[in-house]
Amino acid sequence: MTHARDERAALCDLLDELGPGAPTLCEGWATEDLTAHLVLRERRPDAAGGILLPFLAGYTGSVQESLKRRHPFPELVRLVRQGPPRWSPYGLVPGLDEAVNTMELFVHHEDVRRARPGWEPRTLPGGLEDTLWKRVSAGARLFLRRSPVGVVLRRADGGGTPGGAGRTESKPVGRTAEPMVVVTGRPSELVLFAFGRGDHARVTFEGDAGAVARLRETGFGM
């Protein structure tokens, strides 16, 4: 199993448990909308462009709605659980599913988990935390491109090394500007912050109070 497959299976188990109509952290989306989004992303490349490009968003939205009408919710979940079809880029290119979908599936899994009352962060395998740290470090300039202040991400766990429980690791990202704010947390929490889930991410902020306020008010994500 890979981290992407593990997160996919856990997310689908939760979706089957909750059913359609359950809340998520994605504004305006319930579980059926999020599930249709994942199906579209992996099985309708003709419509996936609108996920990132606003001028294509109308077509993407109409295809997503049509998927919800055509497929009962359990079938949508089954399609997500099956993973990318062999003809898709994720199926054709070895390792692409793990490289691209690990973070996507983790974030959407937490979108469903953390929309429920009483949630707590999961204890993730050290290897998954390491992978998420690599991904958020590599992509943070893109994810945090709207930041009005400089940002440093600081990893607060042991980095997966024996005896490293107190070690931290920092990575300057976003705008290398002053004032600078340090955002500290486990890699999984930093990923959620960078993807615009800051209100539900267990991170701490260090820096000028005004700069911290401006950073927290900024919308992030793709």
Q: What is the 3-state secondary structure (H, E, C) of the chain?
A: CCHHHHHHHHHHHHHHHHCCCCECCCCCCEHHHHHHHHHHHHHCCCCHHHHCCHHHHHHHHHHHHHHHHHCCHHHHHHHHHHCCCCCCHHHHCCCHHHHHHHHHHHHHHHHHHCCCCCCCCCCCCHHHHHHHHHHHHHHHHHHCCCCCCEEEEEECCCCCCCCCCCCCEEEEEEECCCCEEEEEECHHHHHHHHCCCHHHCCCEEECCHHHHHHHHHCCCCC
**Which tens digit of pLDDT belongs to each residue from 112-142?**
999 999 999 999 988 999 999 999 988 888 8
**CATH 3.30.1050.20 in the chain, residues?**
126-217
Q: What is the pLDDT of residue 164?
A: 37
Name the pTM for this structure.
0.89
Q: Please tell me the least confidently modeled range out of 25-34, 108-117, 188-197, 213-222.
A: 213-222
> For the chain, what is the mean pLDDT?
89
Could you please state the CATH topology (level 3) that the domain comprising 126-217 is classified under: Nonspecific Lipid-transfer Protein; Chain A (3.30.1050)
